[in-house]
Structure 1
Amino acid sequence: MFAGVVKELWRYPVKGLRGESLRSAVVDFDGLAGDRLFGLNEPGGDKSVWGGSHPKLMGWEAAWPAQCGCADAVAGEPVLYEPGGAAWAAGEPGLADRLAETIDAKNGVELRKVKRDYGRILVVFEASVRRLSEQLGREIEASRFRPNVIVDTDLEPFAEYGIEPGTAIRLGDNEFTLQKPCERCVLPSWDPNGSNERDMELHKHIIKELDNHFGLYLRINDPVTIKVGDAVAA
Structure 2
Amino acid sequence: MAGRLTELWRYPVKSMLGEPLPDATVDGRGVAGDRRLTVLDHDTGRVGSAKRPRRWSALLGVRATGDAPDRVRLALPDGTVLDHPDAGLDAALSRLLGREVTLTDAVPADALLDRADPDAVLAEGVDADVPVTGNPLGGVAPPGSLVDFAPVHPLTTASLDALDLPREAVPRYRPNLVVATDARGFVENDWVGRELRIGAEVVLRVLAPTGAYAVVVRAGRVAVGDRVEPT
Name the SS of the counterpart of 2:163 in structure 1. helix
Q: Is the 8 A contact 1:60 1:83 kept in 2?
A: yes
Aligned partner (choices 174, 179, 182) of residue 154 of structure 1: 182
Change in Cα spacing, 1:222 to 1:50, as seen in structure 2 (3 Å) is same
Name the SS of the counterpart of 2:211 in structure 1. strand
Equivalent residue pairs, number: 188
* 1:173 maps onto 2:209 in alignment: no
Q: What code does the residue aligned with 1:59 have? A: G
Aligned partner (choices 143, 160, 163) of residue 129 of structure 1: 160
- Mapped to 2, the partners of 1:141 and 1:30 lie a distance apart of 25
* 1:78 maps onto 2:90 in alignment: no
Q: Is the 8 A contact 1:133 1:139 kept in 2?
A: no
State the partner residue of 1:9: 8
- Mapped to 2, the partners of 1:140 and 1:132 lie a distance apart of 13
Change in Cα spacing, 1:75 to 1:159, as seen in structure 2 (3 Å) is closer
The two structures, once aligned, show a CA RMSD in angstroms of 2.4
Post-superposition Cα deviations, 1:128-156, rounded to whole Å, max 9, x if no partner, equal 1011017xxx8882223210010111332
Greater relative contact order: 1 or 2 (C-alpha under 8 angstroms, separation 6 or more)?
A: 1
Post-superposition Cα deviations, 1:44-69, rounded to whole Å, max 9, x if no partner, equal 762122222310111111111xxxxx
- Mapped to 2, the partners of 1:100 and 1:219 lie a distance apart of 33
Post-superposition Cα deviations, 1:169-196, rounded to whole Å, max 9, x if no partner, equal 11111342323225xxxxxxxxxxxxxx
Q: What code does the residue aligned with 1:36 have? A: R
Quick one: percent identity of the two aligned structures?
28
State the partner residue of 1:60: 62
Deviates more, 1:154-163 or 1:73-82: 73-82
Q: Is the 8 A contact 2:202 2:220 kept in 1?
A: no
Post-superposition Cα deviations, 1:86-113, rounded to whole Å, max 9, x if no partner, equal 22111211211111112222xx011110
- Mapped to 2, the partners of 1:87 and 1:3 lie a distance apart of 40
Offset of residue 226 of structure 1: 0.4
Normalising by structure 2, we get a TM-score of 0.73
* 1:223 maps onto 2:219 in alignment: yes
Q: Is the 8 A contact 2:24 2:32 kept in 1?
A: yes
Name the SS of the counterpart of 1:220 in structure 2. strand
- Mapped to 2, the partners of 1:127 and 1:12 lie a distance apart of 23
Instruction: Give the gaps of 5 or more residues in structure 2.
Output: 107-143
Instruction: Give the gaps of 5 or more residues in structure 1.
Output: 65-72, 183-213
State the partner residue of 1:37: 36
Q: What code does the residue aligned with 2:213 have? A: Y
Offset of residue 7 of structure 1: 0.8
- Mapped to 2, the partners of 1:128 and 1:8 lie a distance apart of 15
Change in Cα spacing, 1:168 to 1:24, as seen in structure 2 (3 Å) is same
State the partner residue of 2:123: none
* 1:143 maps onto 2:171 in alignment: yes
